[in-house]
Every structure is written in C-alpha cells, then in structure tokens.
C-alpha cells in the first residue's frame, strides 16, 4: 500500500475491489477501446477520435459525480489541470502512433514509460533482473518489425511512453489529493478542452455524425472512464513502481485486442516476446515484492 494515500481513499464500490483486479481490468478495457478507436481513424482522424474519447468520458464522469471546486487549494486545482494536459497529450500522441504502426508494436514501444517508473522505484537488484527481462521481451517483440515501419509512428509511441510514465506518477498524487473521482473528473474536463482544436480540425463535420458519436462514446467509456477510474483507485493502495510493472501486461493484451478487433496477427516470435514481458511482470510483482498470487489479485 502506498504511503500517505489511504486518507483520501473513496468509499464507493471500487474501494472494495482488489487492486490487482482493478489494474488488469483497466488494461483490458483501454486496449480493446484503443482497437475500437482505430476503426474511427479513417473518418475522424486520431485527433477527432481523441476528442470524442475524452469528451464522452468527461460527460460520464460528470454524470456519476459532480466535482466540487469550493474549498480546493490552488495547488490541487493546478495538479488536476496538469494531469488533464498530460492525458490529452498522451492520448493524441498514442493514437497518432497507432494510425501509423500496429497496435501491439505501439504499446510495446510505449511501455518505456512504465518501465522507467519501475526502474526509478526499484531498490533491489532482483527488481532490475525482472525489468531487464521485460526489456528483452519488448525488443524481441519489435525486432524484425521495426524495419520498414513508419519512423514517425515509432517516435510518437516513444513520446506517448514518456507521457505514460508521467501519468503514472501524477495519478498517484491525484488519488491522494482528491476523494473518489473528483480529481479525475476535473482533469478529464481540462483534457477535453485541450483536445478541442486538433479534434475539430481533424474530424470536421464528421465529428457530429450519429455513428461517430456512438462509437466515440463507446471508446471514451472503454478507454478513459473505466480504466482511469480503476487506476486512480488502484494507485491509492499500491506503489507507482508496482503499478508500472503490472502494466507490462499491456503489450500482450494490446496484441490480443489488435488481433480480435483489427485482424493484426502475431508470429510465434511475437507471442514468445509477450510471454517474456508477462513473466517479468509477475516475477517482479510476486517475488520481487514478497507477494503471493492471492495477494496480488485480492489485495
């Protein structure tokens, strides 16, 4: 359990859910949401898709609980605003990457962010062994596929990874500063406003078509409202370094979602690489932190 965050913990149903289960649920939700979002790129472009994703998630969060600004310090509001800007930039850079390279590859490259968080929070040599194993898996996943891929897509995925690492660290602070989903709701509203210019330019009149709005809303719920709510609650109870390593499951889930929704298959080498990443995640979480499987899932 992360130090100093229990006081702000919410009292809703998510507060009673196992932290490990919340992280896994967030991973599955965001990756299948991302694969669904990719089907909108031809009509709305990445910018328009990001706008609909953030806007629909903001609406859902506002309906679930209206945030109260009264009594909030300037520092707390600034934290929510910065988190919102990071959300907007992270989503836009990632979707721009997915528009150029396969989803599984994009997530594997993007994982440099959580990997950096895991390294930064490590205090034991054994932790570096698991991180090294995850890095080998990521390199193996992209080996043979990076050549010929869009260079800008790789660069955008790397940028998204840096923002993802920042997101993890800020998310922990947001969960400590705000009760329930208040901070997340404020941040999502800021992110929506920040995404307006690029979204309107990219999508134009297609932004308000019924089919676009319906699919965009589904993407927003799957990719933002559900996973971000789960992650804020999980980060109240686990250290950012543990969270960062748990997120190494993401490339595997992304590859699965890309195959099921977008028909992006993986060779045997890709499956082996993803297996390495999963082993590294479980090894660091279970052995490196002295936990057993039941603790990770039920804590």
> Residue 285 above 70 pLDDT?
no
What is the average pLDDT value for the chain, to the nearest integer? Answer: 78
pLDDT at 11: 47
pTM over 0.75: yes
Provide the CB-side half-sphere exposure for 294 (13 A, CA).
Answer: 0
DSSP string, 201-239: HHHGGGGG-HHHHHHHHHHHIIIIIHHHHHHHHHTTTS-
pLDDT at 3: 33
Task: Give the tokens for residue 263.
Answer: 């028909």
Task: Give the whole-angstrom CA distance, residue 112 versus residue 298.
Answer: 28
The band of 205, judged by pLDDT with boundaries at 50, 70 and 90, is confident
Task: Please tell me what DSSP assigns to residue 265.
Answer: -
Task: Give the whole-angstrom CA distance, residue 226 versus residue 122.
Answer: 29
Mean pLDDT of 95-119: 81
> Residue 296 above 50 pLDDT?
no
Domains of the chain, residue spans: 17-298
> Residue 62 above 90 pLDDT?
no
The band of 68, judged by pLDDT with boundaries at 50, 70 and 90, is confident
Distance of CA 260 to the CA centre of its chain: 20
DSSP string, 68-122: P-TT--HHHHHHHHHHHHHHHHHHHHHHHHHTTS-HHHHHHHHTHHHHHHHHHT-
> Residue 95 above 90 pLDDT?
yes
The band of 24, judged by pLDDT with boundaries at 50, 70 and 90, is confident
Q: Report the range out of 213-222, 243-252, 285-294 with the highest average pLDDT.
A: 213-222
pLDDT at 110: 84
Task: Give the whole-angstrom CA distance, residue 176 versus residue 29.
Answer: 24
Mean pLDDT of 40-64: 89
Closest CA to 23 of 268, 253, 267: 253
Q: CA-CA distances (angstroms) from residue 88 to 47, 95, 128?
A: 10, 11, 31
Task: Give the tokens for residue 131.
Answer: 């991180």
Burial class (CB in 10 A: 0-12, 13-18, 19+), 263: exposed
> Residue 131 above 90 pLDDT?
no
Task: Give the tokens for residue 295.
Answer: 């603790």
Task: Give the whole-angstrom CA distance, residue 29 versus residue 75.
Answer: 31
Q: CA-CA distances (angstroms) from residue 57 to 68, 168, 247?
A: 18, 19, 21
Maximum CA pair distance of the chain?
A: 56
Mean pLDDT of 269-296: 60
């Amino acid at each position: 359990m992360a130090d100093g965050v229990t006081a702000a913990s919410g009292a809703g149903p998510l507060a009673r859910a196992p932290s490990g289960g919340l992280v896994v649920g967030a991973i599955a939700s965001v990756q299948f949401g991302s694969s669904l979002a990719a089907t909108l790129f031809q009509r709305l472009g990445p910018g328009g898709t990001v706008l609909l994703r953030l806007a629909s998630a903001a609406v859902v969060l506002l309906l679930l609980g209206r945030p109260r600004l009264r009594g909030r310090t300037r520092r707390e509001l600034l934290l929510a605003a910065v988190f919102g800007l990071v959300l907007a930039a992270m989503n836009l850079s990632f979707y721009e990457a997915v528009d150029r390279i396969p989803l599984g590859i994009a997530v594997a490259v993007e994982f440099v962010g959580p990997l950096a968080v895991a390294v930064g929070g490590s205090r034991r040599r054994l932790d570096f062994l698991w991180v090294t194993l995850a890095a080998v898996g990521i390199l193996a996943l992209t080996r043979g596929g990076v050549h010929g891929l869009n260079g800008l897509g790789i660069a955008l995925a790397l940028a998204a990874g840096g923002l993802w690492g920042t997101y993890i660290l800020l998310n922990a602070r947001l969960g400590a500063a705000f009760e329930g989903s208040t901070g997340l709701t404020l941040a999502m509203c800021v992110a929506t406003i920040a995404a307006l210019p690029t979204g309107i330019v990219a999508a134009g009149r297609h932004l308000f078509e019924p089919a676009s709005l319906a699919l965009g809303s589904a993407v927003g719920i799957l990719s933002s409202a559900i996973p971000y709510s789960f992650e804020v609650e999980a980060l109240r109870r686990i250290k950012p370094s543990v969270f960062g390593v748990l997120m190494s499951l993401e490339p595997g889930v992304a590859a699965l979602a890309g195959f099921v929704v977008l028909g992006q298959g993986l060779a045997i080498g890709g499956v082996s690489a993803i297996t390495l990443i999963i082993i590294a995640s479980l090894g660091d979480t279970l052995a490196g932190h002295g936990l057993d499987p039941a603790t990770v899932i039920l804590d």
